[in-house]
Chains A and B, each alone.
Chain A
């Protein structure tokens, strides 16, 4: 790995930004630098999976990535005419639930991986999920919830997508504190997880399949 990826794994923002500037000055393609930063993020994810890193460290790595991306994005637009995304995800916290912590973590991790995220916010009613899928045509719908009462909302949303003839066009991932305690077969989602990193990795696999 290069200096930039190393700095990301060391969770050292200043070193990551310095490595980015140094590489740009040396004429490195900014797209290659984004890929290197993603490599670093990947290593952080692996360390998180094996229990060496914790959620706050995963978030910190994502924050550093965002800072690096802020520097690189205009350079990529300049050099390549735009930034390619690797797919589109509609995400929201379901109706009746206004917790957005988990949703936001997943959103940031997805954006770091080049995924376009349409964030519907919190307390998202069923109709808004359906409308967003019709409008944005995402490959994945993510639903987040912390509270027990939200489980029935998730189920309602999945049934509404089915009724609207949209269910087969999207994968559905559900996440949040309560999801780990229920049987996913009741919900009918394609993925149910309490682990942000696991969720994002699965979504990325769906998008690249």
Chain B
């Protein structure tokens, strides 16, 4: 068994598919801790020092790395494609926590109508689209500029202090979206399906245009967050695994080439990549196995939601680290005993030989039971296959 490791060493060992002292455990917590600490979403978004203080207060729920909620930076920014957040976020929740509904809550409304227009003029014209949420315009230009530039630095400072105080690395420094995921948000799944069949060249033209922008935006934020200096800030969180229900043909033609291109770009520029891929990727595991082709190994985590984890270990074990997938509903409605049993099975199925991180299937819901998160963290200590 390896000597007792720090959280950072443990996560690094998992990336490299080496055997750590125990299975790393990393529930992704965005909203739950601010909620428990009594912050409103407005406070959580606009006061990074209090936001970080909340995470320090509930350190026992964090695990081996910490989600620095950099999504907030996109929510509050207005320039570039981040304007999408301005128009689709359900801002009714802004001053309420708990909200009437859930967070994050996004309206699924198609806001791209003309691919050519977006490709020629960028995302800015979308912000003048008549389907915009009017409240976006109640903010001043100074306000937008502040959140676009200065606020990022303030956010990064707060999280750098968190890492220095706790020794817990960040889960990520930057966040990038696959072009097809962006299209799913901008066009809606129904329209995107139609586009893929009826104007595939336009879909590819958009993907060709946006992937690089998206990749560099993520690396830019990661540099602000301290990549190369702050542990974990060099990780790009690459979401979301594409629209649900892609056929292998669609996956191979529209999803995988851009996913691989973006992953290669990150790794070749010295970043690590945490692929947080929703839905079920079981049919595509053989393709995913080629993820490390042509790039250095030990730089990637494949974090799955509904993918068959046992099968993922069979196919990807020895090639790339996998992470997953304690169900959200279990964390909200289950008991600590049920969470413990689920984690035990996951560790049995996936941990052998290293290269596994015990993870929630997606972001931990804000209304999860704290005792269930603790049960997940304790399971990693309790069922240690590397003793």
Q: Contact residues of A with B, CB < 8 Å?
A: 11, 13, 53-60, 63, 95-101, 104-105, 108, 122-123, 147-151, 178, 181-182, 186
Nearest residue, chain B, Cβ from A57: B247
Check A99–B247 contact: CB distance below 8 A: no
Q: List 23 A-B contacts (CB under 8 A).
A: A13-B198, A54-B246, A54-B247, A54-B248, A55-B245, A56-B243, A56-B246, A58-B245, A60-B193, A63-B194, A63-B197, A98-B90, A98-B101, A98-B107, A98-B108, A100-B108, A148-B102, A148-B332, A149-B101, A149-B102, A149-B365, A151-B333, A186-B333
Kindly state whether residue B190 has any CB partner on chain A within 8 Å: yes
A97 near B101 with CB under 8 A, answer yes
Q: Which residue from A53, A56, A63, A123 sits with its C-beta under 8 Å from B101?
A: A123
Task: Specify which chain A residues have a CB less than 8 angstroms from the CB of B246 in the assembled complex.
Answer: 54, 56
When C-beta atoms are compared, the residue in chain B nearest to A196 turns out to be B245
Find out whether the CB atom of A98 lies under 8 angstroms from the CB atom of B106: yes
* Alpha-carbon gap, A122 to B102, bound state (A): 13
Chain B positions 244 through 285: 1 when the CB is less than 8 Å from some CB of chain A, otherwise 0 = 111110100000000000000000000000000000000100
Q: Which residues of A contact B101 (CB under 8 A)?
A: 95-98, 123, 147, 149-150
> With A149-B367, A182-B329 known to touch, is A59 a contact of B100 (CB < 8 Å)?
no
* Nearest residue, chain A, Cβ from B194: A63
Do A150 and B102 touch (CB < 8 A)? yes
A54, B244: Cα distance in complex, Å: 9
Q: Within the assembled complex, what's the spacing in Å between the Cα atoms of A148 and B194?
A: 30
Q: Which residue on chain A has the smallest CB distance to residue B88?
A: A98
Q: Quick check: A13 and B330 within 8 Å, CB to CB?
A: no
Give min CB distance, A194 to chain B, whole Å: 9
Q: In the complex, what residues of A have CB within 8 A of residue B368's CB?
A: 148
With both beta carbons as reference points, the residue of chain B lying nearest to A54 in the complex is identified as B247
Question: Which residues in B have their C-beta under 8 angstroms from that of A182?
Answer: 329, 333
A178 to B102, CA, bound (A): 13
Docked pose: A65 CA to B245 CA in angstroms: 19
Complex contact B193–A96 (CB within 8 A): no
Choose one: A59, A97, A148; the contact of B365 (CB below 8 Å): A148
Within 90-114 of B, Cβ neighbours of A (below 8 Å) are at 90, 99-102, 105-108
A147→B190 contact, CB < 8 A: no
- Enumerate chain B interface residues (CB-CB to A < 8 A): 90, 99-102, 105-108, 188-190, 193-194, 196-198, 243-248, 250, 283, 327-333, 365, 367-368
Known: A53-B247, A149-B101. A59 touches B193 (CB 8 A): yes
Closest chain B CB from A43 CB (angstroms): 16
Question: Smallest Cβ distance from B20 to chain A, in angstroms?
Answer: 29
Least CB distance, A41 to chain B, in whole angstroms: 15
The answer on a CB contact under 8 Å between A56 and B102 is: no
Further 11 A-B residue pairs, CB within 8 A, beyond A63-B194, A147-B101 = A13-B198, A56-B196, A59-B193, A96-B100, A98-B101, A122-B107, A148-B102, A148-B367, A149-B332, A181-B329, A186-B333
Shortest Cβ distance from residue A7 to the other chain B in the assembled complex, whole angstroms: 13
Task: Give the shortest distance, in Å, between A109 (CB) and chain B (any CB).
Answer: 12
Nearest-neighbour CB distance to chain A for B240, whole angstroms, equals: 13
B304 vs chain A, min Cβ distance (A): 15
Chain B residues whose C-beta falls within 8 Å of the C-beta of A99 in the assembled complex: 106, 108
The reply to whether B193 and A63 contact each other, CB–CB distance below 8 Å, is yes
B102→A96 contact, CB < 8 A: yes
Cβ of A150: which chain B residues have Cβ within 8 Å of it? Answer: 101-102
Q: Contacting B327 at CB < 8 Å: which of A54, A97, A105, A181?
A: A181
Contacts of A100 in B (CB 8 A): 108
Contacts of B329 in A (CB 8 A): 148, 151, 178, 181-182
Is there contact, CB below 8 Å, between A147 and B193?
no
- CB nearest neighbor in A for B106: A98
Asked if B365 and A147 make an inter-chain contact with CB atoms under 8 angstroms apart, the answer reads yes
| A-chain residues with CB within 8 Å of residue B194 when the two chains form the complex | 60, 63
Contact B247 A59 (CB under 8 A): no
- Max chain B C-beta neighbours (<10 A), residue from A105, A181, A182: A181
Interface contact B189-A59, CB-CB below 8 Å = yes
**Least distance between A70 CB and chain B CB atoms (Å):** 14
Within 8 Å by CB of B330, from A56, A58, A96, A181, lies A181
Q: Which residues of A contact B367 (CB under 8 A)?
A: 148-149
Q: Nearest chain A CB to B329's CB is how many angstroms away?
A: 3
In the assembly, what is the distance between CA of A11 and CA of B105, in Å? Answer: 34
Q: For B244, what are the chain A residues with a Cβ–Cβ distance below 8 Å?
A: 55, 101
Q: Across the two chains, which residue of chain A brings its CB closest to B305?
A: A177
Contacts of A181 in B (CB 8 A): 327-330
Which residues does chain B contribute within 8 Å of A148, judged by CB atoms? 102, 328-329, 331-333, 365, 367-368
- For B331, the chain A residues whose CB sits under 8 A away are 148
Q: Establish whether residues B247 and A97, one from each chain, have CB atoms under 8 Å apart when the complex forms.
A: no
Min CB distance, B248 to chain A, in Å? 8
Distance from B322 Cβ to chain A, minimum over Cβ atoms (Å): 20
Q: How far is the CB of B255 from chain A (nearest CB, A)?
A: 11
CA gap between A70 and B113 in the complex, in Å: 22
Q: Distance in Å from the Cβ of A48 to the closest Cβ of chain B? A: 9
Are the C-beta atoms of B197 and A13 separated by less than 8 Å? yes
Distance in Å: Cβ of A35 to nearest Cβ of chain B: 24
